[in-house]
Structure 1
Amino acid sequence: MKLYIISSGKYGSRIVNSLAEMGLASSMVGLEEIPEDLPEFIDDFEQYVPKSIPQADLILAVGLFGDINMIVPIIARESGAQAVIIPIHDPAQIPPGLQREIEESAPEIKIVFSKPFCSLEPVGDTYIDEFAEQFGRPQLEIESDGLIKKVKVIRTAPCGSTHFIAENIEGLPAEEAELESGTKLHNYPCNASMSTDPAVGDTILHLAGYQVKEAVRRALGFSMKSAVVDHETCEADECQHECIKHCPQVQIGIDTVTLNENEQAVIDPASCGCCEICIQECPYGSIELEERKFEL
């Protein structure tokens, strides 16, 4: 795979360095650094398109804010790439309207906006999927006998935090690993924004935490906390499924809240972020946060 990267700012630099350190350096056919101090709105963004663009299979654009992102599909087209990944780490980075504009400018190119980058999964595109096999939504294998004996990283967050977390939860009681993984993500630290994203109702940093906690839960086979729907009081025929509408995980494409045969909500304890937004939004008070062991 030939990977061409367009990068800006500290976030972009960190991702580039992490990917190179984790084995992608030989796949990088080019790196274009974009200044951080560009205006949010740019009339003539084509002036920032590099004069020399190598042939590439996949374009990765990290850390760009505002209209400068419009150069990404242009670069993809000139490089011959048919696939683009644009991670979103800040709600101000690429508003929904700009996302649509980028997509509409290059309908022939597969463009994925991964929010956060560590939620990326295969999408059915050859090169995005090749990238996502190694980098994206964390996946772990854990050996445990009550204590965490060994943690193997199957897929890492592109920033490298998954390896850091894996190293730091070894030796812990298994029932503490889920919570500690979120703490270690902050310690790494995660560079995603702590500003609430209006599109999802939560912060992108929290979303990143939900991904690594899920990886730990699935590897251990249990979760220690989850929101739970009381189907005795859930009024599915009256409710507009507010829990689904407002779940941050659902908003980024994860099936955290689904419906059973009675059209009542069911919350997946593996991917539940325990943000309590569904509890606040349920008009019938049918959802509670439970702290107990949920077998997966």
Structure 2
Amino acid sequence: MLKVVILTDGTYGDRAYDTIKEKFDTEFIQLEAPSGMFLDDDIEIPDNAINKINKANIIISYISHPDLALDIVYRFADKVDWIIIASWKGNGLKNQFESKNNVSCPYIMCELEENGNSTYDEFVSKIGCPKVDLIIEDEKIKDVKVLRSSPCGSTSFVAEYIKEKYKNKIPDEENLPREAGLRIQHYPCRAGKMRLFTDEECKKQKASGFHQEAFENAILSKK
């Protein structure tokens, strides 16, 4: 089974862990950030954490300290199949991360889609840009199945809402996707807080758009 290791030095990553562990063998590792923002000294990572990271196929980094984040990339990029940087600050740092061919820095984690790398594609077949399937009986929604979930779990949150709202009535094909997108606004998304100089509302709007599109595609697939 695909092995995923989620790294954090703060408060982010726990929701991704709860979602991803349902699909893949997943470890959640809390690392201690250096005391300063930029240090020239070597960064210490416990041996037990190193052993777990070395066994990963995919690393997902929610590390906010730039030196620690860079150290993870430079130390482990050649040992794992792919590294996803979920938390990054500024295009300069992004460019440093992505100087490694198997490192990507998504603008928002619910935009992940296949890129041709077999390990990465296996991961994003279940986690990333949302996909849902509507199970319809007698023109009513019997169930909403999440085929691919956003890492934070918001897709299941939206799917449950749509399922409950439409279980006893015929869905409005025009308004239902819009409702799904708007429902994201009620989920406590943290995406905008993970990066410096970014617009939190813009990220929420993108997440909303991804979920609206997922339900639009689900409706079209039934025609």
| TM-score after normalising by structure 2 | 0.79
1:76 aligns with 2:76: yes
d(CA) in 1 for partners of 2:119, 2:70: 21
Using the aligned pairs only, state the percent identity.
26
Cross-structure match for 1:288: none
The change in CA–CA distance for 1:112 and 1:195 in structure 2 (over 3 A counts) is: closer
d(CA) in 2 for partners of 1:193, 1:46: 30
Cross-structure match for 2:157: 164
Cross-structure match for 2:84: 85
- Deviation of 1:86 after TM superposition, in Å, equals 1.3
The change in CA–CA distance for 1:50 and 1:103 in structure 2 (over 3 A counts) is: farther
Cross-structure match for 1:111: 103
Q: How does 1:6-155 map to 2 (within 5 A)?
A: 6-20=7-21, 22-24=22-24, 27-28=25-26, 30-35=27-32, 39=36, 41-44=37-40, 46-52=42-48, 53-54=50-51, 55-77=55-77, 80-88=79-87, 93-104=88-99, 107=100, 109-144=101-136, 147-155=140-148
- Deviation of 1:133 after TM superposition, in Å, equals 0.7
* Larger Cα-atom Rg: 1
- Deviation of 1:10 after TM superposition, in Å, equals 2.6
d(CA) in 2 for partners of 1:134, 1:56: 17
- Deviation of 1:31 after TM superposition, in Å, equals 3.5
- Deviation of 1:181 after TM superposition, in Å, equals 1.4
Q: What are the ranges of 5 or more consecutive residues in structure 1 without an aligned counterpart?
A: 223-295
Q: How does 1:180-195 map to 2 (within 5 A)?
A: 180-193=179-192
Deviations 1:197-246, CA, capped at 9 Å, x for gaps: 86899722221111111101111129xxxxxxxxxxxxxxxxxxxxxxxx
The change in CA–CA distance for 1:152 and 1:38 in structure 2 (over 3 A counts) is: farther
d(CA) in 1 for partners of 2:11, 2:133: 31
With a CA cutoff of 8 Å and minimum separation of 6, indicate the structure with the bigger relative contact order.
Answer: 2
Cross-structure match for 2:178: 179
SS of the equivalent of 1:140 reads strand
Equivalent residue letter for 2:40: D
Give the structure with the higher percent strand: 1
- Deviation of 1:5 after TM superposition, in Å, equals 2.1
The change in CA–CA distance for 1:36 and 1:189 in structure 2 (over 3 A counts) is: farther
Q: Which runs of 4+ in 1 moved over 6 A?
A: 194-202
The change in CA–CA distance for 1:196 and 1:77 in structure 2 (over 3 A counts) is: closer
SS of the equivalent of 1:10 reads coil
Whether the 8 Å CA contact 1:45–1:68 is kept in 2: the answer is: no
SS of the equivalent of 1:115 reads coil
The change in CA–CA distance for 1:87 and 1:32 in structure 2 (over 3 A counts) is: same
- Deviation of 1:178 after TM superposition, in Å, equals 1.7
d(CA) in 2 for partners of 1:75, 1:33: 17
| TM-score after normalising by structure 1 | 0.61
Equivalent residue letter for 2:6: I
d(CA) in 2 for partners of 1:96, 1:220: 38
| Matched residue count | 210
Equivalent residue letter for 1:14: R
- Deviation of 1:162 after TM superposition, in Å, equals 0.8
Equivalent residue letter for 1:103: E
